[in-house]
Amino acid sequence: MPAPSPPPTEFDTLGAAAACVKRGDFETALTHLKALLAGNPRHELANGMLAGLYAQLKMPDRARHYFEQVLRLNPANVLARFQLGLLHLETGQPRDALEAWQSKPPSPEDYLTHFYSAVALLELNRPDEAKVRLLQAAQHMPADHRLHPELQRLRHSLQS
């Protein structure tokens, strides 16, 4: 009788979850990630993947929970911080978005955080602060970035 195969490693489980997402099998991806977290709830990457998956599935409360879990595990996780802020912005919470982004101020080169911070500031009717963020974004955003035309439009509208 052949020896039983060893249980999958965490790396194997993450790979299986990623493959499921790639082919659109989100339920199975969720199952893989939850199984991994059942054995290791502090797995930063699995928490982040689960957060991203819930965000993609338009389940913002669950996504928020897992992004916050990632930040509890690693407060320096720039991607989780950015995604949490973006989630807040997309769900009509610009103040919470700014709070997420400003808890660890972005580097000058972080043009996306500066751009979306400006959008949040405009939603909060704070155009002078938005101008500063748009200028910071403009200094580093590549001209061929898909958001560059919107950046230019917003800057022009605030100069009028």
Digit-coded pLDDT (tens) for 14-69: 999 999 999 999 999 999 999 999 999 999 999 999 999 999 999 999 999 999 99
Q: With respect to residue 70, please indicate whether it lies within any of the assigned structural domains.
A: yes
Task: Give pLDDT, residue 49.
Answer: 97
Q: With respect to residue 135, please indicate whether it lies within any of the assigned structural domains.
A: no
SS (H, E, C) 16-31: HHHHHHHCCCHHHHHH
Q: Which of 108, 119, 49 is nearest to 77 (CA)?
A: 49
Q: Domain range for residue 65? A: 8-76
- Give me the DSSP letters along 73-135: H-TT-HHHHHHHHHHHHHTT-HHHHHHHHHTSPPPTT-HHHHHHHHHHHHHTT-HHHHHHHHH
Q: With respect to residue 160, please indicate whether it lies within any of the assigned structural domains.
A: no
Q: With respect to residue 2, please indicate whether it lies within any of the assigned structural domains.
A: no
Q: With respect to residue 63, please indicate whether it lies within any of the assigned structural domains.
A: yes
Task: Give pLDDT, residue 109.
Answer: 87
Greater pLDDT, 160 or 47: 47
Residue 58 CB neighbour total at 10 angstroms:
9
DSSP summary character for residue 158: H
Q: What pLDDT, in 10s, does the model give residues 85-106?
A: 999 999 999 999 999 998 887 7
The pair of three-digit structure tokens given for residue 50, joined into one six-digit string: 């689960």
Q: Give me the chain's average pLDDT, please.
A: 94
Residue 6: strand, helix, or coil: coil
Confidence of residue 8 (pLDDT cuts 50, 70, 90): confident
Q: Quote the pTM value.
A: 0.89
Q: With respect to residue 144, please indicate whether it lies within any of the assigned structural domains.
A: no
| Number of structural domains in the chain | 1
Q: Which of 20, 38, 39, 36 is nearest to 28 (CA)?
A: 20
Contact 133, 121 (CB under 8 A): yes
Q: With respect to residue 123, please indicate whether it lies within any of the assigned structural domains.
A: no
| CATH code of residue 28 | 1.25.40.10
CA gap 158, 156 in Å, rounded: 5
Kindly state the average pLDDT of the residues 100-120: 91
